[in-house]
């Protein structure tokens, strides 16, 4: 009986130390972080696009956390400065990602601001990046004979549009592109020298 009590006490101490180190201390470090002035909350369309991003598993192949120059070549890839906790103030849940099959997307809105490019890339990635292994998302689009009033026709490179048809972006595709365009964390994280 004495050994079971020691075992249970040891397990409880180990659990308490692990909880303090992995949950409590990180929470204390980031609980009071404020959003930078340049970071705006997501709009309703961007939030809907974020849901499309999550639903289609984009986070499985793309991270949203450029790393420090000393740790990885992310800066030389033009992916932006290393991310900081305040970059994620409005992200619930955080979509940091654990894999980089594709490029980091935290600053894709700055690197590639074109709506047409994003729509075409979602419809057929290899039309824009021939060596891409990203899957196409044709279910986010409709193929029609002609665009109607209020519909967004996607301009595709020659040879990638269906013959005699137009590709129309659904609202899901448009919202996803708005979310991707909102991913722009190029603002400075430190105040300019000489500012209080």
Domain with residue 136: its CATH number is 1.10.760.10
What is the average pLDDT score of the chain? 89
Q: What is the pLDDT of residue 47?
A: 97
Range of the domain at 112: 44-182
Mean pLDDT is lowest, of 31-35, 120-124, 161-165, 190-194, for: 190-194
Residue 38 lies in a domain: no
How many structural domains compose the chain?
Answer: 2
pLDDT for 194: 54
**Bridge partners for 141 per DSSP:** 169
Q: Are residues 5 and 57 in the same domain?
A: no
Mean pLDDT of 163-175: 95
Instruction: For 90-120, give one letter per residue: b (16+ CB within 10 A) or e.
Output: eeeeebebeeeebbbbbbbbbbbeebeebbb
Residue the block writes with tokens 């289609």:
56
Spell out where 27-173 has E strands.
Answer: 141-144, 152-153, 166-169
Same domain, 104 and 21: no
Find the helix or strand (DSSP H, E) in which 52 lies.
Answer: helix 44-55
H or E stretch at 5: helix 2-19
Do 24 and 59 share a domain, yes or no?
A: no
What was the pLDDT predicted at 85?
Answer: 87
Q: How many residues does the chain have?
A: 196
User: How confident is the model over 78-129, as pLDDT tens digits?
Assistant: 787 888 888 989 999 888 887 888 898 999 999 999 999 999 999 999 999 9
Would strands 152-153 and 166-169 be described as parallel, antiparallel, or unpaired?
A: antiparallel
Residues 18 and 86 in one domain: no
The answer to whether residue 74 is domain-embedded is: yes
Q: Does residue 114 sit in the same domain as residue 24?
A: no
Are 68 and 107 part of one and the same domain?
A: yes
On the question of pLDDT at 34 being above 70, the answer is yes
Lowest mean pLDDT among 27-41, 45-59, 96-110, 119-133: 27-41
Q: Is 161 inside any structural domain?
A: yes
Q: What is the pLDDT of residue 135?
A: 95
Give the pLDDT band of residue 190 (cuts 50, 70, 90). Answer: low
Which pLDDT value is given to residue 195?
A: 52
Domain assignment of residue 173, yes or no: yes
pLDDT of 37 reads: 86
Amino acid 117: pLDDT = 96
Residues 95 and 169 reside in one and the same domain: yes
In this structure, are 14 and 56 located in the same domain?
no
- Within this chain, do residues 26 and 81 fall inside the same structural domain, yes or no? no
């Amino acid at each position: 009986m004495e050994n079971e009590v020691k075992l249970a006490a040891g397990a409880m101490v180990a659990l308490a130390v692990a909880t303090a180190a992995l949950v409590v201390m990180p929470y204390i470090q980031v609980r009071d972080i404020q959003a930078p002035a340049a970071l705006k909350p997501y709009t309703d369309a961007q939030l809907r696009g974020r849901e499309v991003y999550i639903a289609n598993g984009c986070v499985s192949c793309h991270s949203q956390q450029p790393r420090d120059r000393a740790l990885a070549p992310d800066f030389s890839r033009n992916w932006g400065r290393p991310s900081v906790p305040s970059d994620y103030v409005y992200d619930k849940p955080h979509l940091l990602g654990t894999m980089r099959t594709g490029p980091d997307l935290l600053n894709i809105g700055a690197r590639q601001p074109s709506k047409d490019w994003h729509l075409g890339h979602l419809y057929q990635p290899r039309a824009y990046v021939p060596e891409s292994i990203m899957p196409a998302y044709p279910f986010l689009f409709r193929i029609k004979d002609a665009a109607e009033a209020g519909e967004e026709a996607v301009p595709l490179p020659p040879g990638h549009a269906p013959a005699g048809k137009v590709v129309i972006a659904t609202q899901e595709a448009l919202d996803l592109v708005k979310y991707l365009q909102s991913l722009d964390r190029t603002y400075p994280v430190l105040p300019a020298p000489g500012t209080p």
